[in-house]
C-alpha cells in the first residue's frame, strides 16, 4: 500500500489529514525499520546505510525512503558524506523532519488547553486568580482564531444561520464534531479536551466556553451565543441563535 501525498491516496482510500497519512506511511516493517534507524543515527543517512539497516537493496530502500519524504516524516537533500567531496554524483541523504505527529480518535486537542493554561500562568496579573487568567487567555485565543477566519472568508455582516454555517466548518477543523440540530442551533458532539474536562469540569468547561465565546467575537457573529449545556461524552457548549 502506497501513500501519495499529492493525491491524498493511500491503498486506494483518500485521506486529507497529514498526520493520518504519515502514520499510514509507517504501516510497513521496512519503512518502520529505516525510519527508526535514521532517527537513532542523529545525522544524515545515505540510501546505502538505510538499505543495510534493514537488509534490502539500495533501489528498494530509495523507493521506501522517498515515500517517507512524501509523507512528511523525512527530509532529503544531496550532501557529501562526512563533508568530503568525491568524484561522481553527490549522494542523497535523509534525516528526520521536524514534525510531531499525534492521531487520536475521537480528536483531542490537549495541546491547545496546555498552551492556554501556560499563557495564563505567565501573564497572570496582581489580583487575578489563576482561573480568571485562564478564561481571559482562552477568550483572547478564541478571538484570534475567529478574526483570522473572518479575514479569510470575508463574510460581511452575519446573520445567525450564515454564522452557524461558518462556525460548523471552523469548529470541525478544531475537533469539536459540530452537528446542525436545527437551522438556529449547532451541537458540538466531541470534547477535544476530554478526559481533562471530566476531571476538572469547572475549570476546563469555563475555559472552553470562553474560548468559543471569543471565537464568536472574533468572527463578529453577534447573532450567535455560546451556551453551557453539559452532556455526557460531548462538548459542554452549544451554539444558538441569540
Question: Which domains does the chain possess?
Answer: 3-96 (1.10.10.10), 110-241 (3.30.1380.20)
Tell me if 117 sits within 8 A of 134, measured CB to CB: yes
Count Cα atoms within 13 angstroms, Cβ side, for 103: 8
pLDDT at 23: 85
d(CA 150, CA 176): 19
Share of the chain above pLDDT 70, in %: 90
Q: What is the pLDDT of residues 46-87, one digit of tens each?
A: 999 999 999 999 999 999 999 999 999 999 999 876 655 665
Q: What is the pLDDT of residue 12?
A: 39
Joined together, the cell numbers standing for residue 238 give 452549544
pLDDT, one tens digit per residue, over 151-182 is 999 999 999 999 999 999 999 999 999 999 89
> How does residue 15 score in pLDDT terms, banded at 50, 70 and 90?
very low
pLDDT band at 7 (very low <50, low <70, confident <90, very high): very low
Residue 83 CB neighbour total at 10 angstroms: 6
> Which single residue is written with the C-alpha cell 501513500?
3
Q: How far apart are CA 226 and CA 176, in angstroms?
A: 13
Q: pLDDT tens-digit profile of 125-141?
A: 999 999 999 999 999 99
1 burial type by CB count under 10 A (0-12 exposed, 13-18 middle, 19+ buried): exposed
pLDDT of the residue at 6: 38
Q: What pLDDT was estimated at residue 210?
A: 98
Amino acid at each position: 500500500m502506497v501513500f501519495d501525498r499529492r493525491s491524498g491516496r493511500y491503498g486506494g482510500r483518500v485521506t486529507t489529514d497529514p498526520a493520518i497519512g504519515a502514520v499510514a506511511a509507517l504501516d510497513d516493517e521496512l519503512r518502520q525499520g529505516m525510519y527508526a534507524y535514521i532517527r537513532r543515527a542523529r545525522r544524515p543517512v545515505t540510501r546505502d546505510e538505510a538499505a543495510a539497516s534493514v537488509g534490502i537493496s539500495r533501489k528498494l530502500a530509495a523507493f521506501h525512503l522517498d515515500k517517507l519524504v512524501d509523507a512528511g516524516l523525512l527530509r532529503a537533500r544531496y550532501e557529501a558524506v562526512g563533508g568530503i567531496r568525491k568524484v561522481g554524483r553527490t549522494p542523497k541523504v535523509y534525516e528526520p523532519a521536524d514534525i510531531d505527529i499525534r492521531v487520536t480518535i475521537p480528536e483531542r486537542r490537549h495541546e491547545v488547553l496546555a498552551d492556554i493554561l501556560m499563557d495564563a500562568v505567565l501573564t497572570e496579573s496582581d489580583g487575578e486568580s489563576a482561573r480568571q487568567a485562564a478564561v481571559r487567555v482562552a477568550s483572547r485565543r478564541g478571538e484570534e482564531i475567529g478574526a483570522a477566519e473572518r479575514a479569510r472568508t470575508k463574510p460581511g455582516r452575519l446573520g445567525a444561520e450564515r454564522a452557524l454555517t461558518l462556525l460548523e466548518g471552523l469548529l470541525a477543523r478544531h475537533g469539536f464534531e459540530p452537528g446542525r440540530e436545527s437551522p438556529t442551533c449547532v451541537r458540538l458532539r466531541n470534547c477535544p479536551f476530554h478526559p481533562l474536562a471530566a476531571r476538572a469540569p469547572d475549570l476546563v468547561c469555563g475555559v472552553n466556553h470562553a474560548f468559543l465565546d471569543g471565537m464568536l467575537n472574533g468572527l463578529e457573529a453577534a447573532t450567535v451565543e455560546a451556551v453551557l449545556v453539559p452532556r455526557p461524552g460531548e462538548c459542554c457548549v452549544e451554539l444558538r441563535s441569540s
